[in-house]
């Protein structure tokens, strides 16, 4: 007969929590459609020559896994695609210097990850497609072009296969899209936001590269179309890294930190 202590040990050790893995209905509620849309957008970008930049500040192995998935496919004969993991203490600076217009930035992070929030809000100024994978509380609407979210508060979700299957599916579906070459050219103006910024009067997002060197000088900024000089007299002094909305060659307003697009 077990002693009281043994019984207690048995109870503690045998007590397993709810199964933490992939629920069969994980993609219900729109996530399947989100994955499909993100995969087609990614395939179109790769088709046009994009490189994929992968970040996951809290779970860096996920950034490496995403990159190796695309670079060295597990299925023989599938195209090797350019993808890099970016790690280290400043993912915003790392991505800024690496990314080119037309590229893809993909992150695995919580909605509260400040570096990734900052990274995602800058991607339009770099001309990059943004994809954000995470779980728990959702980021605010429009935080990235494609938000692939598991609305489960379990903080250990990143270690149970639920994130791995998300980027496995992205890879698998992206390669399915490659079999449909007729659909890989995006419509002329790819409108990913509610209002297409290139064909309306809306301001375009720009990131300051160099501040003006004189009172009446222009600032050098970066937009999805490349680098340009703009007038910043309306917004006042600017510093490298500042985000501004520009229209017709001038900065109209400055975006404060934490103002998500």
Interatomic CA distance for residues 244 and 261, integer angstroms: 11
What is the closest distance, in whole angstroms, from the C-beta atom of residue 179 to other proteins in the complex?
6
Q: Does 153 bind other proteins (CB under 8 A)?
A: no
Specify the residue, 60 or 231, whose C-beta has the smaller distance to other proteins.
60
| Interface positions, 45-64, toward other proteins (CB under 8 A) | 59-62, 64
Q: Got the DSSP string for 14-62? A: H---S--S--TTTTTTTHHHHHHHHHHHHHHHHHTT--EEEE-SSSHHH
Who's near 39: CB < 8 A, 6+ residues apart?
169, 170, 173, 174, 176, 177
Q: Does 80 bind other proteins (CB under 8 A)?
A: no
Give the other-Cβ count within 10 Å of 173's Cβ: 17
What is the closest distance, in whole angstroms, from the C-beta atom of residue 64 to other proteins in the complex?
4
Distance, C-alpha 222 to centroid of its chain:
19
Q: Does 192 bind other proteins (CB under 8 A)?
A: no
Give the other-Cβ count within 10 Å of 198's Cβ: 12
Q: Does 127 bind other proteins (CB under 8 A)?
A: no
Q: Does 173 bind other proteins (CB under 8 A)?
A: yes
Binding mask 8-27 for other proteins (x = CB under 8 A): xx--xx-xxx-xxxxxx-xx
Q: Does 211 bind other proteins (CB under 8 A)?
A: no
For residue 231, give the DSSP letter: B
Q: Which stretch binds other proteins (CB under 8 A): 99-107, 116-124, 171-179, 218-226?
A: 171-179
What is the closest distance, in whole angstroms, from the C-beta atom of residue 104 to other proteins in the complex?
17
Q: Got the DSSP string for 68-121? A: HHHHS-SSTTSPP--EEE--SS-HHHHHHHH--TT-EEEEE--TT-HHHHHHHH
Specify the residue, 165 or 260, whose C-beta has the smaller distance to other proteins.
165
Distance, C-alpha 164 to centroid of its chain:
16
Specify the residue, 75 or 195, whose C-beta has the smaller distance to other proteins.
75
Under rule CB under 8 A, how many of the chain's residues touch other proteins? Answer: 52
Residues that bind other proteins in the complex, under the rule CB under 8 A:
5, 8-9, 12-13, 15-17, 19-24, 26-27, 32-33, 35-37, 39-40, 59-62, 64-65, 68-69, 72, 74, 155-156, 158-161, 164-165, 168-169, 172-173, 176-177, 179-180, 182-183, 187
């Amino acid at each position: 007969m077990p002693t009281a202590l043994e019984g207690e040990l048995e109870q503690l050790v045998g007590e397993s929590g709810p199964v933490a893995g992939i629920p069969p209905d994980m993609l219900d509620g729109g996530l399947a459609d989100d994955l499909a849309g993100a995969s087609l957008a990614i395939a179109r970008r790769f088709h046009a020559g994009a490189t994929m930049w992968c970040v996951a500040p809290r779970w860096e192995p996920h950034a490496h896994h995403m990159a190796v998935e695309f670079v060295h496919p597990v299925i023989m004969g599938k195209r090797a695609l350019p993808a890099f993991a970016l790690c280290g203490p400043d993912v915003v600076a790392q991505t800024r210097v690496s990314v080119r217009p037309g590229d893809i930035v993909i992150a695995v992070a919580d909605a509260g990850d400040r570096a990734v929030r900052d990274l995602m809000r800058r991607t339009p100024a770099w001309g990059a497609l943004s994809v954000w994978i995470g779980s728990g509380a959702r980021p605010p609407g429009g935080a990235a072009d494609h938000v692939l979210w598991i609305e489960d508060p379990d903080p250990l979700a990143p270690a149970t296969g639920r994130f791995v299957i998300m980027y496995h599916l992205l890879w698998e579906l992206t390669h399915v899209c490659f079999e449909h070459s007729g659909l890989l050219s995006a419509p002329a103006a790819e409108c990913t936001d509610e209002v297409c910024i290139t064909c309306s009067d809306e301001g375009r997002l720009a990131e300051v590269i160099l501040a003006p060197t004189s009172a009446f000088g222009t600032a050098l900024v970066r937009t999805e179309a490349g680098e340009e000089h703009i007038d910043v007299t309306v917004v006042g002094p600017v510093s490298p890294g500042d985000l501004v909305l520009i229209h017709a060659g001038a900065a109209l307003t400055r975006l404060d930190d934490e103002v998500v697009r």
